[in-house]
Chain A
């Protein structure tokens, strides 16, 4: 029976080619626009580390000026000072913890033909790698002892390993960075984080760094400040040490806490720490410490761009117009078929039969629209790539989930759109249509 309905549907679609094309195009455009914007929003708001996003917490301490908050209405600064970074790391009160900073430096490959190049560097502690599940191709992160010993060790990205060592296992070999010799202890595999949640201060969709280095190298080698530096008070005194000891924030801090109990304990620890600092004349503001898990932090930092959201809502309204359009056209089309429906009813087809038959017809239009929409979504994403440039590269891939949902969305919305016209068509009294014939 189904194949018979399918044949009837195709016949009916072919009978009004322009009208059918109009409906398919309308659905296709609506689906295409919606899928394009939904994909971008979906990838922007993706959970980059789903299995432990609830256990990783970003630490904020309100060390700002007593006269104004770091951000209205009463937000603590989004980064911490060197003093807090080092104190919290020495306290080691969390299951895992890492203070971080970003910097950059020149790498000088050994070969004569390889030119020196500028690399992005992340300064972190040993816990960084297990905490964020960094994937290793060779070797591993450095041991805890290397942090305090200030060992000259690095973990390098796969791309850096390709460039400097031709992709060989370089663990144990020496690499020259910022004018110093470092020993490679690990090489990371491809590591794509969308968004790169561990540091979103300079943009949530930056790549993971090319080199990872123990945090205290910042002080040891007087490395430059990457990212944003914000100060509410000028450093007291001159030179690098004065800057490190200042109230300027340039460091991020993540902790891993396995359950609510650990979280509560860590919060207590933070509050005690700040109260202790208050006795030293710092932290003039009321207690305002925060622990945000990954998704809360992404929300706080507004990782999903406003423009992307606006576009998504506009495209949903666009889809609505396309569907209204389809309802109208189907209504007209089925009304035009009144005579035929009347005849079929008169010769014995039940209302249910006719209902299913017309639903099959709308579903066909829906599927065709969905496929067209998928193609248009692909074009749309290509368009977004060319409009926004390389920084959206990781935000414009169509995965299987999105493809299936595109077709499903098209199917469901077109069937919904077809409901009313179909119902109207089936309620035609056979006699009224036969009379004039």
Chain B
């Protein structure tokens, strides 16, 4: 088909006679594309964040805090009795006392280094204080070295500042601290906490996230073998598959009645904690998706509205063209090509604006830079939106009977 048959020349000249309407649509398409492409990019990034695996058995686990009060409260016996009680409850796979919950947002971090002393390179990592049941309760695999033994686990009193001698660390942390050797060889190495205090890496575990989902060093984690004697105690409980909801009230009740000198609070599933931690991201995804869809509909309807008007205004000309032998197909094609020309201007402008907005977001809110292929993808989508929107009015135009040309009005 020659370009003559596409009638680009006449269509373009006709467009130039009604520039404003065409420009309005082009700008609308450009701004819509800017928002849609940037939104999709943000949405995908957030979705990726949410999907990161915490490394623990989230579905079957929950936790609670008990806070003792009164003169007769003994943290040490309480902790040991509680753990025994929980572990012996039918339906519990395993349980530990822990100082912080992964993905919950609150916890303890320290700096670690491979050589002692000030002014050495350090690597931050989250600390979980646990006992030898941690691997089972947190669903961890010791991929090199060994798990803690009961004799490794010490009793940590409030105010104690030093650290246990043996620790487990994650594979990611092992690789960050000792980038030059395979992680298996990190077992037995000495690392330093508080600049000078040595610890020996007893084993490497596969993966467990730190409590702070927004932290860059999310998978840098250290497990220290100790049971803490603070007034507030946190227990992390992993239920057997499908038993979680059944045993939650049972455990709460059993703990409450075993020792009256405390309150039990904050019992929550890990699943719910994850939802809370990522709530901002989930909300952003939903809000941006809704905005994007509504915006595209508004733009689409705008195109429909304007195209309908332009069809109505040109009824007589269309009738004349039909009377002079133009087929229905060529009338439809006329409007489709007209829209395509407008859209092309729109998406080119849109590509520029999209990149500009992304640069602004990178500058102001330190977002990541857009991957290049989002831009052509956005252009194609907006082209299609325009074509779909204009198809209805174009069909209507094609149905205008040639006889209309002969009428005066």
Contacts and interface: CB of A to CB of B under 8 A. Distances in A.
Nearest to B290: A383
Measured as residues with beta carbon below 8 angstroms from the partner, the interface class of chain A is 35 or more
A324 B288 contact: no
Given A224-B230, A329-B305, A336-B312, 6 more contacts: A239-B159, A310-B361, A310-B365, A325-B298, A335-B313, A436-B408
A420 B24 CA distance: 12
A305 B280 CA distance: 10
Nearest to A243: B159
Interface stretch (B67-75, B168-176, B218-226): B67-75
A284 B71 CA distance: 43
Interface in A117-156: 117-118
Interface residues of B, number: 58
A329 B409 CA distance: 24
A27 to B, nearest CB: 10
Interface of B: 20-21, 24-25, 27-28, 31-32, 34-35, 38-39, 42, 67, 69-71, 118-119, 158-161, 194-195, 197, 230-232, 263, 265, 276, 279-280, 282-284, 286-288, 291, 294-295, 298-299, 301-302, 305-306, 309-310, 312-313, 361, 364-365, 408-409
A389 B279 contact: yes
A366 B248 CA distance: 55
Contacts of B118: 67
Contacts of B310: 332
26 contacts: A22-B301, A115-B263, A234-B194, A234-B197, A237-B161, A240-B158, A314-B291, A317-B31, A317-B35, A321-B28, A321-B31, A321-B295, A324-B24, A324-B31, A328-B21, A328-B306, A332-B21, A332-B310, A336-B309, A336-B312, A383-B287, A387-B286, A387-B287, A388-B280, A389-B279, A436-B409
A331 B263 CA distance: 69
Nearest to B275: A389
Given A106-B69, A387-B287, A325 B365 contact: no
A29 B294 contact: yes
Nearest to B159: A239
A243 B159 CA distance: 7
Given A29-B298, A321-B295, A388-B280, A328 B25 contact: yes
A388 B258 CA distance: 37
- The SS class assigned to the B binding surface is helix
A347 to B, nearest CB: 20
Contact of B365 (A26, A243, A309, A389): A309
Contacts of A239: 159
A235 B295 contact: no
B306 A329 contact: yes
A384 B161 CA distance: 44
A306 interface: yes
A116 B291 CA distance: 47
Nearest to B286: A387
B67 A118 contact: yes
Nearest to B39: A314
Interface in A3-37: 19, 22, 25-26, 29, 33
Interface of A: 19, 22, 25-26, 29, 33, 67, 105-106, 108, 115-118, 178-179, 224, 234-235, 237-240, 242-243, 305-307, 309-311, 314-315, 317-318, 320-322, 324-325, 327-329, 331-333, 335-336, 383-384, 387-389, 420, 424, 436
Contacts of A320: 31
B159 A331 contact: no
B280 A307 contact: yes
A311 B263 contact: no
A292 B97 CA distance: 42
Given A242-B161, A329-B306, A321 B299 contact: yes
A359 B119 CA distance: 71
A106 B302 contact: no
Given A324-B27, A325-B299, A332 B286 contact: no
Contact of B195 (A234, A242, A309): A234
A234 B161 contact: yes
A105 B306 CA distance: 66
A178 B69 contact: yes
A26 B283 CA distance: 23
Contacts of B365: 306, 309-310
B67 A322 contact: no
A313 B119 CA distance: 43
A115 B174 CA distance: 47
B29 to A, nearest CB: 9
Contact of B34 (A105, A307, A317, A424): A317
A213 to B, nearest CB: 16
A230 to B, nearest CB: 10
Contact of A116 (B69, B160, B231, B279): B69
A67 B119 contact: yes
A322 B291 contact: no
Nearest to A222: B158
A26 B28 CA distance: 13
